Amino acid sequence: MQTGLPSELKGVTRIRDAVGKALLFLGDTDPDVVVLTADVARSTRTSWFADRFPERFVNIGISEQDMVGFAAGLALAGKKPYAAAFAMFLMRAWEQIRNSIDRMNLDVKLIATHSGFSDHGDGASHQSLEDIALMRVLHNMAVVVPADPPQAYKAVVRIHEEVRGPVYFRIGRDYSPTVTDPASDYKFGELEILRDGSDIAIVSAGPLLAQVLEATEALQREGVDAAVANLHTVKPLDEQGLEALARRTGLLVVVEEHFPRGGLFGAVAEALAQRYPVPVYPIAAKSYGHSARSVLDLYREHALLADSIASRILEIIGRHKR
């Protein structure tokens, strides 16, 4: 059982690199693992797997729909396929994911890289702001959004051991400051509290958690004690954990690198509406992105940097608690 931070992850700061290393670990430990990609082997770091296990790697070419079907066939025939492509372009195979994988509950893992705004330079055509919504409506699909490189590594390895069925891993590109405890265990399906607080709970996932944690320092200076929860598993959703947060704070904000419709905000609001209704606000992408030299420029444009998050939260608190 792989727990904690493996030595081979030392010095890895990019989340896609961590996933590439995790696939190497799986290749070493499980002969049934087969990795597929759609002409993005180097970008997704699956080229590392290809170099070490060439016979268990297939580059399907620029054809994501075919890659998804190929993965379904491998799974039907007893293999454990990982299909990697940019999140944006896996979406074009959504119906294949639905009908060829999810409906048969096949053990296919989708590695969706360059998600959210993380492919900053390529612009709106390459930035995925809808994928969580699309994937979490599928009946069997689990949706996992790791926070940082150590968590991404542990999530891939642990889920390989624990989950037989389809999983969508939403992975960014490079910007991903480490916010979790590298020595901690990864717990699939369990909300991770990164910071305790009683005035408001901020739920987020992925690289934006770094901005959220920074925002809580500004909030603290204003006398606001904010809890921060890492919703690394969007589905299955930790409804109990969310309810506990709602009971403790009475007010939630969801910060996400996604449109507000149907993503983390949708998941959290749907659950709390039934279990323990409290106000829930989205802080999310305002529109399609566009090209930028840095992902932080896009965060700034969409009011997702720490200072913007803090001031928006102060507004929300002002409406409800003061």
Partner 1 sequence: MEGGQLIVSKLGGIAQAGDAIGISLSEKLHEISLRARRRIIRMGIIEKSVHVGASLSVLDILVTLYFGRGLRRTGNRPTERDWLILSKGHAVPALYAVLAEKGLIPEDRLDAIRAIDGLEGHPDYTTEGIDVSTGSLGQGLSIAAGIAYAMRLDGTEDRHRVYVILGDGELDEGQVWEAAATVAHLGLRSVVAIVDVNGFQLDGPVEAIKTKGDLVLRWRSLGWSVVEVDGHDYEMLLSALRVADQEKRPTVILAYTRRGKGLGFLEASGGQHIDRKHADRFTE
Please report, as ranges, the residues that interact with partner 1 according to CB under 8 A: 34, 55-56, 58, 60-61, 63, 65-79, 81, 95-96, 99-100, 103-104
User: How near is the Cβ of 100 to partner 1 at its closest, in Å?
Assistant: 5
- 264 vs 232: CA distance, rounded Å: 10
| Angle between helical axes of 15-29 and 149-162 (0-180°, round to 10) | 30
Helix (H) or strand (E) segment spanning residue 212: helix 208-221
- 96 vs 109: CA distance, rounded Å: 14
* DSSP per-residue letters across 128-145: BSSHHHHHHTSSS-EEE-
In the bound state with partner 1, the residue whose beta carbon lies nearer, of 40 and 72, is: 72
Helix (H) or strand (E) segment spanning residue 197: none
In the bound state with partner 1, the residue whose beta carbon lies nearer, of 69 and 206, is: 69
Contacts of 295 (CB under 8 A, 6+ apart): 117, 118, 120, 173, 174, 175, 207
In the bound state with partner 1, the residue whose beta carbon lies nearer, of 91 and 193, is: 91
Q: Where are the beta strands (DSSP E) in the chain?
A: 33-37, 57-59, 80-86, 109-113, 142-144, 167-170, 192-195, 200-204, 226-230, 233-235, 252-255, 280-283
User: How near is the Cβ of 75 to partner 1 at its closest, in Å?
Assistant: 8
CB atoms within 10 A of CB 174: 16
User: How near is the Cβ of 104 to partner 1 at its closest, in Å?
Assistant: 5
User: How near is the Cβ of 78 to partner 1 at its closest, in Å?
Assistant: 5
- 207 vs 276: CA distance, rounded Å: 28
In the bound state with partner 1, the residue whose beta carbon lies nearer, of 2 and 63, is: 63
Residue 77 sits at φ, ψ, to 5 deg, of -90, 15
Q: Give the position of tokens 């299909």.
A: 83
User: How near is the Cβ of 55 to partner 1 at its closest, in Å?
Assistant: 7
In the bound state with partner 1, the residue whose beta carbon lies nearer, of 75 and 208, is: 75
In the bound state with partner 1, the residue whose beta carbon lies nearer, of 108 and 305, is: 108
User: How near is the Cβ of 28 to partner 1 at its closest, in Å?
Assistant: 16
In the bound state with partner 1, the residue whose beta carbon lies nearer, of 43 and 59, is: 59
CA–chain centroid gap for 118, Å, is 12
In the bound state with partner 1, the residue whose beta carbon lies nearer, of 5 and 134, is: 134
Q: Are strands 252-255 and 200-204 parallel, antiparallel or unpaired?
A: parallel
User: How near is the Cβ of 38 to partner 1 at its closest, in Å?
Assistant: 10
